[in-house]
Structure 1
């Protein structure tokens, strides 16, 4: 159980990871608020103990109620198409819009846990630029001034039953573009995201999450503690390759970063 129960907002709550985050957070004693677009779907997929709050990450004006009073926010956004469900509109702009809603919210700043992906620093169009938009969402979170943990999981649920020993990596050097980069169970991703909300050692860390042969660890604290912190003020994670220069980014992306940075220092 959580030593200090939080009010946790889960964004992407009806997704395959989000549902597990909701269950894990409730099991840890937190009060869970689940952002949903479809209340009937949310009621069908989520535990009765979760508070359902209607909102759409592509529409920032619908997010104010959801973020109000949240002690922590877990973002497990995942796009699955084009248009309003494209990587740009969901994986990136969804994070931007949550941060925008927070800017007009009263109360203490929440702690953030953001799920992106292993290989986030790959410069490749093979995923329709998905990874580049995920990396841009990471940059927004780092620029926000909020305390955060960014988790880059490997391939979901492709690990063997005896591969539950969690490994935290930094530098994002595994770039095969397939399961050879590392795999991890969805349930373990959820466990790490929720644990990061209350672990002092997880503050302002970014890491890749995979599993290797062995038993699941009982305590995640030592794994968080062994990580290097991201450099203060940096847009990128510690050890990341500097292969996405800011001055080459789209103007709208630079404008978003400047807006988020300005709010953080206001």
Structure 2
């Protein structure tokens, strides 16, 4: 889609999760028409009673084609937090993004991807690179995107409503779930958010009144790079496993095929 194309239909991935439910409501409040990708429609009806539901599984690429069809935008808030499999992050956090991109079949929706404030922090014990790898896929796709790396969920007081957007992977702090959701949806509607990656935390103060200015102050990601602007150069693509490099190449081919 072009930068100026009107956004109406938004596919919400992770819609029944703790951030996703807020994102659905934020989309509705901004006059958008969200539809939720869910594995279990009957269960999801209880959480999202007034939302269009489409059945699909992030680990089943064939099931995603109908879900992405006709979407002007996609909000990705999925995560593997409740999945006890040792390789869950590879299959869900990363594989979910790969499979959504592969299902687009030439379509070019605008995408808002939620990852983590620690996406690039290799110095954090036990931290995983899978969210950073998912970001790389989205950048390689050539789609219009914004990547939001929120801080610790709910680690923000009721008077901490001022949003702090940082780049470079050094931010640390808390953020309310509704603030994350609002930022993701606003990024779809704000031209100055295009092609940008940032960490998001909250500080003492009031909510933003000018999103164009807030997002416009950020540096855009470098054209052609699969990493965010100012990201540390400690996970070189050439050192990644062959399967991951193949995934990047496949996404680039899809980009070329879509014209």
Q: State the TM-score, normalized to the length of structure 2.
A: 0.93
Asked if 1 retains the 8 angstrom alpha-carbon contact of 2:102 and 2:254, the reply is no
Deviation for aligned residue 1:82: 3.7
The corresponding residue for 2:165 is 168
Structure 2 partner of 1:152? 149
Shift of 1:122: 1.3
Q: Which residue of 2 aligns with 1:219?
A: 210
> How many aligned positions are there?
252
Determine if the alignment matches structure 1 residue 182 to structure 2 residue 179: no
Provide the C-alpha distance between the structure 1 equivalents of 2:61 and 2:208, rounded to a whole number of angstroms. 38
Corresponding residue number in structure 2 for 1:8: 10
C-alpha separation in 1, matches of 2:123 and 2:65: 35
Q: State the 1:52 CA deviation.
A: 0.2
CA distance in 2 between partners of 1:116 and 1:167 (Å): 16
Unmatched 5+ stretches in structure 1: 175-180
Residue in structure 1 matched with residue 53 of structure 2 by the alignment = 52
Q: Could you report, residue by residue, the CA deviation over 1:31-84 in whole angstroms, capped at 9, with x for unpaired residues?
A: 111000111221111141x11000000111000110000000000111023439
Instruction: Give unmatched runs, 5+ long, in structure 2.
Output: none
- Matched residue, 2:226: 235
TM-score, length basis structure 1? 0.91
Please give the residue correspondences for 1:1-266 in structure 2 after superposition, counting only pairs within 5 Å: 4-48=6-50, 50-80=51-81, 81-83=83-85, 86-102=88-104, 104=105, 108-123=107-122, 126-127=125-126, 129-130=127-128, 132-174=129-171, 181-266=172-257
Structure 1 residues 176-205: Cα deviation after superposition (integer angstroms, max 9, x where no partner): xxxxx1111100000000011111000000
Deviation by residue 1:79-104 (Cα, 9 ceiling, x = unmatched): 023439711000000000000101x2
Partner Cα separation in structure 2 for residue 16 and residue 236 of structure 1 = 27
Aligned-residue RMSD, C-alpha: 1.6
| Aligned partners of 1:83 and 1:89 also within 8 Å | no
